A = this chain, B = another copy of it.
């Protein structure tokens, strides 16, 4: 089905153009017209692929999530079929935070989507669903790590999951050059050291 493939490719090219608008000019400039210009097509041509700003934005967000998942999988490849849960959590954080160009693009896309969600109920529901699913994945991973003895049994899997997700707060500190990428790595490793520490108490 080459036609469908082409359709998908064009939609992905538009999504990347949308990311560039968000990254370089900010969410205030995120209009269908700006994205069409950045993608090198007319407003009418773009509407052939996305019938609304919201449809375009949601596809761009879904595509950003997919790309992040692929980068996490790439980062975990050296660790084989059953990577240590610590490596999985570390890779997820590394690829979610704006520590390199690709991650910065998807991180800013995600921030723009959250911002849109505050004033659009449909986007709110979708953004929430995405985060709830991501959160459930992390919680399952932590529960398994506790069951497998990697994390002590006295740890609360819900609170530990929430703390890990909260570390996405490094995004602002990185974007404003308050702390360096190396300091983020040190802090993340220290947090993971604490989570996976075995002090023999349980």
Contact = CB atoms under 8 A, between A and B. Distances in A.
Given A27-B27, A199-B199, A163 B176 contact: no
Interface stretch (A44-52, A55-63, A112-120): A112-120
A26 B113 CA distance: 12
A187 B178 CA distance: 24
B115 A26 contact: yes
A73 interface: no
Report whether over half of chain A's contact residues are helix, strand or loop; otherwise say mixed: helix
A175 to B, nearest CB: 6
Interface of A: 24-28, 108, 111, 114-119, 124, 127-128, 131-132, 135, 156, 158-160, 162-163, 165-173, 175-179, 183-184, 186-187, 190-191, 194, 199
Given A27-B27, A27-B115, A159-B187, A169 B165 contact: yes
Contacts of A183: 158-159, 162
Instruction: State the number of copies, please.
Output: 2
Contacts of A108: 118
B26 A176 contact: no
A135 B169 contact: no
Contact of A187 (B26, B117, B163, B186): B163
A178 to B, nearest CB: 5
A6 to B, nearest CB: 33
A40 B160 CA distance: 47
B25 A119 contact: yes
28 contacts: A24-B119, A26-B119, A108-B118, A117-B175, A118-B175, A124-B176, A131-B172, A132-B178, A158-B183, A158-B186, A159-B183, A159-B186, A159-B190, A160-B190, A162-B173, A162-B183, A163-B167, A163-B187, A163-B190, A165-B169, A165-B173, A166-B169, A166-B173, A166-B187, A167-B169, A168-B172, A169-B170, A194-B194
Contact of A128 (B24, B159, B166, B178): B178
